[in-house]
Chain A
Amino acid sequence: MDRPIGSEVSPAPPPEEVTALLEAWRQGDRHALDRLVPQVYSELRRIADRTLRGERAGHTLQPTALVHEAYLKLTGAERPRWNGRIHFFAVAAQLMRRVLVDHARARAAAKRGGDALFVPFDEGHDGAVERAAELIALDDALSALAALDPRKARILELHHFGGLSVEETAEVLGLSTSTIGLEARLARAWLLVEMRSGSSAGRGKSDREPEAP
């Protein structure tokens, strides 16, 4: 029997390479992100899993903490190589969004039903599809916003996926904090309205249609 192993196997990339990928991505190399995501993916999942297990009920999981830890693990570095933490988070925010949304899309695409095979062990299993849909809607709305006003979308992304404060966002984008504040306010409101209206026809990145197998 032929083995698919050959095409899959590559040892975990050395830390320098991860950093290089991140840097390349920051510079605009989109393909770098494609290669980064799988690494970050599993690492993030592991960390999230561990964090969740230690978490008390109701405590929300901080995405940014995950990202930070994942980054450290992958790069093997105590400090990011480039200009400070803020810039790292700026990069990470985008990565995080990509990872979460990709995953949500995959979950939403998965069809449930059929014979009960095994008892699911995680209580998050039920309603997973609904939550996935919400995040997808968020992502679609963000993308719609980006089409109209890239800066506003970026501000939201930095804040919600990167955990940056108003001041930090101002620093990353090179704007004043008051500008950031006002832009963010509108962006939020617009996003909310957009999410609730559910109208993302033609603008969302729904490149994978859920298909009944």
Chain B
Amino acid sequence: MTTERFRRLEQAFGELVALPASQRAAALAELAAEEPDLAAELAALLAADAEASPVIEATVAAGARLLAAGPEVGRRIGRYLLEREVGRGGTSTVYLARADDAAPVALKLLERRGDGEEVLRRFENERRILATLEHPGIARLLDVGVTADSRPYVVLEYVQGLPIDAHCDSRGLDLPARIRLFREVCAIVHAAHQRLVVHRDLKPSNVLVDAAGAPKLLDFGIARLLDDASQGAPDRTSTLFVALTPAYASPEQLARGPVTTATDVWSLGVLLTELLTGRRPFRTEGLPPAEVERIVREGPPSFSAASSPRTARLPPDLETILRMALRKEPERRYGSVAQLAEDLGRFLDGRPVAARPDTWAYRTATFVRRHRWSVAAAGAFFALLVAFAAATAVQSARIARERDRAERVSSLLVDLFEVADPTERRGSSVTAREILDRGASRLASELEEEPETRAALQETIGRVYQNLGLFHSAAPPLEQSLATRRRLFPGDHPLVASSLNRLAVVRALAGEYTRAEPLFREALAMRERLLPADDPAVVASVNNLALILHDSGDYAGAERLYRRAVALDRRQPPAERDGTAEINLGLLLVDRGEPAAAAALLGPEVERTREGEGEASPVYAANLGYLGMALQALGRYGEAERLFRRAIAIDGRAQAGEHVALARDLHLLGALLYERGDLDAAEPLLERAQAIRERLLEPGHPELAATLERRARLVAERGDVAGAAALAERALAGFRGALPAGHPSSADALVALAEIRVERGDCAGAAPLVREAVGIRADNLSPADWRTAEARGVLGTAMACAGSAGENERREGERLRAESLVKLSAALPPAHSALRWLGRASALGRTVVE
């Protein structure tokens, strides 16, 4: 078109639009006859004019949007021409760029501006370090610079690949494959750590995987570089600073604290969680920065899967590994990325992992020790608080709900502890027991609207009662806790299993073995269904059930289970082993009359406890006692006595006032001294043990019965046969009531009572008792066991001195007695109580004639 033409158009257009619309068509037609081309053009113009389309405005606006969306392509920065945008983050954009005709590079351009000179200076140091970081798994840093408008940029090796999460999904990798790939990533990160370079910004988009499946890490150390580069930026307005990707930032990064290799461990933990579950452990999408910071720094991680096909639950060991990597405190995480990779390797091999859950949780998977009480009475209510805090941490609830609940619960606790407030003039001193009692009774009716919390609190109170040795007080809150949890979680659930176990423990400690056993069985079955075979909770349940069988007299069944628990426990690394099953097996062996094997098992366990728990630990004291029992059975009285005395010293100090642990130790020493013949020393010990046990235990408790039985013998030997009889009757009644028929402990009481009856002249009455004892011991002990001989000796004596017995029976009795005497003399030291009695009885046997 020429200018003249345009003028012509303009003129015609002006004329036409001046006409009324109705006349335009005619005028146009007229023109068309003369100048058809012009007319055509005019028609087009008129049509466009009539359309009044806003396309021009829209196009310009769209252009402005385009500008906002990504302005740099086509620009030249330094040597590099930006060809296209390949990625964009919160604070920077990445371009595919090329210098002249060279190979493509990735140029990452930061949004913020810095002060040019400053930036250069900082860059230089970092650049030098990073330029030396050469590794096939790391995208090399090629160049750094600052643009004309003071924006820093870095130039990296251009890597083609998918972000690791996209790669895993697109290849459909299963869990082990993902872990293996992740381990390769760990190896790369570790290599950089060894060169003292921390990544600081590990996330899926920085971990690419190429077509061959090899991972390559981007932006190593860049975060630090860019962070430094922006130090001089004039407008540092945002709280989340340059190089942080909030979703992957560690607590110390959010707190602007020092960044170490542990920071990368954290990020790798987040990354791995995402790879395995499809979600990040901390849900921060769409939340303001302050809230994100709070959730990451304070909230628990979550490992529930987004959706299938990934597994619904992570295997517990894997979760443990993740939790360790995601510990809030850097020093509590894996010490190095290599260790993380190692543990993952163990997991893949099916070996136990080194990571352990947090201690308090680990210990709540209760192992029952036969005589284990660990909390001093004075500290009971602090234990309540601490344990409560721990218990509630297990509950994952919404944040607001937690706040409300915490308030309600703390006001309950505050009320309780007003009682303990010394400024409250109450006159009487308050004991922990009172506080507990109040707590228990209030919980029975309060907090109904917070059933989970209530159940947790009740469990805690039950535990504290248990630790105080108040087993019967422990049962009601534990039963309520269990009932609540059964209601809340129908079917299998770890909390229900835990409640079952806890209640069973208390029942067992209370001596109610028959009530304890079904609970232990149920807890074990449930845990076996919920957890892998060597999970500590399962091992605990195996041990507990074994203990019940042990105490029920099913020694064979108990041994099988103990050995299973021991095998599982021994798979742990030494620092993590619990040793309870070993101890219990040792005790079983003592009961079974295999003290040598018992000592072999218990000796190392004692050492391990001493190292692990310390010489002032009640656990150590208990184990000393158990080893002492084995040594005593071996006849090594001196050593056993030393151990018992040491245990008494520890427990006497540790447990303020009188405690069942001390009673046990006193009993053991007293029994030893009695057996050895030192009645004067034994008597006060046994008396004190009895007093404590009477005060703290139920009348029919087997432990009390055991002391009564020992005292009965001692008292009888002193000559107070009537008194002895009473004690022995009580002992027998206690055993019979608490233990199943045929329990070996019953045999002890039966023998004792039979002996007393013989001494009283009631041989006929003694015989059936001791016959039962002989039968029990024959069932449970080896024929060579001295206790078998002891019982037969007593039987023989009873048979021989019974007036109603026939000649055959008398002779048989004599033979039995003589035979026993020989065996016992060979097996035992001369002053052994069994021999002493037989000697006494011989004299009696000669004089008593019915």
Do A118 and B86 touch (CB < 8 A)? yes
Known: A120-B85, A185-B49, A186-B13. A138 touches B60 (CB 8 A): yes
Cβ 8 A contact of A213, one of B83, B113, B150? B83
A100 touches B148 (CB 8 A): no
A62 to B62, CA, bound (A): 10
0/1 string, B200-240, CB within 8 A of A gives 1 = 00000100100000000000000000000000000000000
B6 at the interface (CB under 8 A from A): yes
B22-30, B63-71, B429-437, B681-689 - interface stretch:
B63-71
Classify the interface of chain A: helix, strand, loop or mixed.
Answer: helix
Known contacts A48-B64, A189-B48, A4 near B143 by CB under 8 Å: yes
**Contact present for A8 and B146 (CB under 8 Å):** yes
**Binary B-proximity of A17-31 (CB < 8 A = 1, otherwise 0):** 000000000000000
| A54 to B51 Cα, complex, angstroms | 33
Residues of chain B lying within 8 A (CB to CB) of residue A148: 1, 3, 6
**Given that A49-B68, A124-B66, A135-B62 are known contacts, is A11 also in contact with B74, CB under 8 Å in the complex?**
no
Pick from A117, A135, A138 the residue with the most CB of B within 10 Å: A117
Cβ 8 A contact of B73, one of A107, A121, A156: A107
Contacts of B83 in A (CB 8 A): 110-111, 213
Compute how far the CA of A116 lies from the CA of B166 in the bound complex, rounded to whole angstroms: 11
Of chain B, the residue at the smallest CB distance from A51 is B68
Residue-wise, chain A 97-130 has the 8 Å CB interface mask toward B (1 for contact) of 0011111111101111001111111101100100
B10, B120, B142, B163: which contacts A9 (Cβ < 8 A)? Answer: B120
Q: Contact check, B14 vs A182: say whether CB atoms are below 8 A apart.
A: yes
Say whether B94 faces chain A, with CB atoms less than 8 Å apart: yes
A207–B142 CA distance with the chains assembled, in angstroms = 32
Q: Is there contact, CB below 8 Å, between B66 and A46?
A: no
- Verify A12–B150 contact, CB threshold 8 A: yes
Is B77 among interface residues, defined by CB-CB distance under 8 A? Answer: yes
A38 touches B89 (CB 8 A): no
Q: Does B53 contact A (CB under 8 A)?
A: yes
Q: Which residues of B contact A122 (CB under 8 A)?
A: 69-70, 88
Interface pair A192/B53, CB less than 8 Å apart: yes
Of residues 25 to 64 in B, which have CB atoms within 8 Å of A's CB atoms? 41, 44-46, 48-49, 51, 53, 55-64
| With contact pairs A61-B64, A135-B60, A186-B45 given, residues A120 and B55 touching in the complex (Cβ less than 8 Å) | no
CB distance from A198 to the nearest CB of B (A): 14
Given known A185-B17, A192-B56, A193-B44, contact A128–B66 (CB-CB < 8 A): yes
Interface string of B68-98 (1 = CB under 8 A from A): 1111011101111001111111000010001
Chain A residues with CB below 8 A from B149, complex form: 12, 38-39, 41-42
The yes or no answer to A155 lying at the interface (CB within 8 A) is no
Q: Which residues of A contact B67 (CB under 8 A)?
A: 44-45, 48, 66, 99-100, 103
Given contacts A9-B120, A52-B68, A185-B17, contact A118 B59 (CB under 8 A): no
> Does residue A134 face the partner (Cβ distance < 8 Å to B)?
yes
Give Cα A13 to B379, complex, Å: 71
Across-interface contacts of B87 in A (CB, < 8 A): 117-121
B111 within 8 A of A: yes
A167-206 interface bits toward B, Cβ cutoff 8 Å, 1 = contact, 0 = none:
0000000000000001001101111110100000000000
- Asked if A156 and B116 make an inter-chain contact with CB atoms under 8 angstroms apart, the answer reads no
On whether the beta carbons of B45 and A135 are closer than 8 Å, the reply is no
Given known pairs A100-B66, A106-B73, the reply for A135 and B59 (CB within 8 Å) is yes
- Say whether B635 faces chain A, with CB atoms less than 8 Å apart: no
Q: Which residues of B contact A134 (CB under 8 A)?
A: 59, 62-63
Tell me if A57 counts as interface (CB < 8 A to partner B): no
Residues of B within 8 A of A5 (CB): 78, 120, 144-146
| Contact (Cβ within 8 A) A109 B150 | no
Contact A45 B65 (CB under 8 A): no
**B162 CB within 8 Å of chain A:** yes
Q: B150: which A residues are within 8 A, CB to CB?
A: 11-12
Q: Which of A43-88 contact B (CB under 8 A)?
A: 44-46, 48-49, 51-52, 60-63, 66
| B147 contacts partner chain A, Cβ-Cβ < 8 Å | yes
Q: Does A149 contact B (CB under 8 A)?
A: yes
Q: Which chain B positions have C-beta within 8 A of A118? A: 86-88, 94, 163, 205
Complex contact B66–A12 (CB within 8 A): no
Beyond A52-B65, A182-B14, whether A8 also contacts B60 by CB under 8 A is no
Given the interface pairs A106-B73, A107-B74, A118-B163, the reply to whether A189 lies near B63 with Cβ below 8 Å is: no
Q: How distant is the Cα of A48 from the Cα of B45 in the complex, in angstroms?
A: 34
CA distance A29 to B356 in the complex (A): 73
Chain A residue numbers with a CB within 8 Å of B41 are 193
A161 at the interface (CB under 8 A from B): yes
Contacts known (A46-B111, A63-B63); A149 close to B6, Cβ less than 8 A: yes
Contact A188 B49 (CB under 8 A): yes
Check if B160 is an interface residue, CB within 8 A of chain A: yes
A100 to B208, CA, bound (A): 34
Question: B10, A63: Cβ atoms under 8 Å?
Answer: no
Interface residues of B in 92-146 (CB under 8 A from A): 94, 98, 111, 113, 115-117, 120, 131, 142-146
Q: Which residues of chain A have C-beta atoms less than 8 A from B49's C-beta?
A: 185-186, 188-189
- Measured CA separation A102–B115 after assembly (Å): 27
- A115 and B170 alpha carbons, distance in the complex (Å): 14
Q: Is A101 within 8 A of B63, CB to CB?
A: yes
Separation of A190 and B162 alpha carbons in the complex (Å):
49
Q: Does B151 reach chain A (CB closer than 8 Å)?
A: yes
Chain B nearest CB: distance from A201 CB in Å?
Answer: 13
Alpha-carbon separation in the docked complex, A58 to B153 (Å):
34
Q: Tell me whether A158 is interfacial, beta carbon within 8 Å.
A: no
B55 touches A192 (CB 8 A): yes
Cross-chain pairs A/B with CB under 8 angstroms, 5 sampled: A4-B80, A107-B70, A161-B60, A185-B49, A193-B41
Residues of A within 8 A of B (CB): 1, 3-5, 7-12, 38-39, 41-42, 44-46, 48-49, 51-52, 60-63, 66, 99-107, 109-112, 115-122, 124-125, 128, 131-132, 134-135, 137-138, 148-149, 156, 160-161, 182, 185-186, 188-193, 195, 208, 213
* Residues of B participating in the A interface, judged by any CB pair closer than 8 Å: 1, 3, 6, 9-10, 13-14, 17, 41, 44-46, 48-49, 51, 53, 55-71, 73-75, 77-80, 83-89, 94, 98, 111, 113, 115-117, 120, 131, 142-151, 160-163, 205, 208
Given contacts A188-B48, A192-B53, could you give 18 more A-B pairs where the C-beta distance is less than 8 Å? A5-B78, A5-B144, A48-B68, A110-B73, A119-B163, A120-B85, A124-B65, A125-B85, A128-B69, A135-B60, A148-B3, A149-B6, A149-B10, A160-B57, A161-B60, A182-B14, A189-B49, A193-B41
